[in-house]
Amino acid sequence: MQTRRQKFKKSYLLYSFKRDKVAMVSFSILALLLLAALFAPLLAPYNPYDPTVIDIMDSELPPSWMEEGEPRFFLGTDIQGRDLVSTMLYGLRISVLIGIGAVILQAVIGISVGLTAGYLGGKIDAVLMRIADVQLSFSTLMVAIIVSAIVQLSFGVGRYEQLAVPILIVIIGIAEWPQYARTVRASVLGEKNKEYVEAARVVGLDSRRIMFSHILPNTLSPVLVISTVQVANAVMSEAALSFLGLGMPVSKPSIGSLIDAGFEYIFSGAWWITFFPAVLLIVFILVINLLGDWLRDVLNPKLYKG
């Protein structure tokens, strides 16, 4: 019976996806961006990490179609003389890595806390949810700024640059896990008194197996919707931290650090250094949010209009 239900849900999702043009276009753009990030070393004309191919004399060159532009730099160069197309591809790769890594960490912590709190209830539920409430009372960006600043002071700027990616994953992941915990807890409260859970208890299954093998699969729909939105939020948080100088270093650019690096030059005429990475970030966030909206609606038949 469960297999038939899963097959029906998959066919329903596919049918709904084919009917929704916005979802199809958003998915196509997102797939292209993810493939471009994944194969950045193959697609990028230059390696922005290789100092032998970077010439400071090429810094702040405009796009190739402008008067002082050069054909070899289609979107121009940044302040260090790096090809902007190549730097954006590598930067997108880092932003996607941080976004997905942070969401995985959020999901692991939040799902574990939400399952435990919702299923066991009582004092455990009260304590875990109060911890989540305290976490939610702080701004995500504020938590990330404080932790990032402490880490930089503890490890030093040089060491921080080497560990920037895992540190940002941990910072953003720890800051956002309550979203998962509250959502999963609400779903567990609606599932734990159903007949299939009672049957699992009757046959003698332990609580851990009931939670992870029986209840968790039936709470994945809202988790999937949250994950799409949280990837976009994680990428935005990384971009904001990089813009404030607490994210990725200039030597290992992300989309946020590229926007930050070019912001001070935007009024001197080198607008492209900030403009094109900003457009890429907006498009990436937009298509993820559109897919998340479609997924939320299609998994709730009361909302979905086709």
**What whole-number distance in Å separates Cα of residue 122 and Cα of residue 103?**
28
Nearest to 92 by CA among 104, 84, 102: 84
- Asked whether the beta carbons of 247 and 254 are under 8 A apart, the reply is yes
**What whole-number distance in Å separates Cα of residue 52 and Cα of residue 9?**
53
Pair of tokens at residue 10: 């998959």
- Asked whether the beta carbons of 68 and 269 are under 8 A apart, the reply is no
**What whole-number distance in Å separates Cα of residue 278 and Cα of residue 183?**
32
2 has pLDDT over 60: no
Nearest to 299 by CA among 242, 244, 227, 206: 227
Given this model, what pLDDT does residue 35 score?
Answer: 92
Quick: pLDDT tens for 130-148: 888 888 777 767 777 777 7
- Write down the pTM of the prediction: 0.81
- Asked whether the beta carbons of 237 and 175 are under 8 A apart, the reply is yes
DSSP 8-state symbol, 215: I
DSSP 8-state symbol, 77: B
Quick: pLDDT tens for 195-225: 777 787 787 777 788 887 778 887 877 888 8
Q: Which residue has the tokens 């009582």?
A: 122
Q: How confident is residue 32, by pLDDT bands cut at 50, 70 and 90?
A: very high
Quick: pLDDT tens for 246-260: 777 777 778 877 887
Quick: pLDDT tens for 149-163: 777 777 776 777 777
Q: How confident is residue 12, by pLDDT bands cut at 50, 70 and 90?
A: low
**What whole-number distance in Å separates Cα of residue 78 and Cα of residue 48?**
10
Average pLDDT over residues 104-133: 87
Please tell me the CATH code under which domain 95-306 is placed.
1.10.3720.10
Given this model, what pLDDT does residue 1 score?
Answer: 41
Q: How confident is residue 4, by pLDDT bands cut at 50, 70 and 90?
A: low
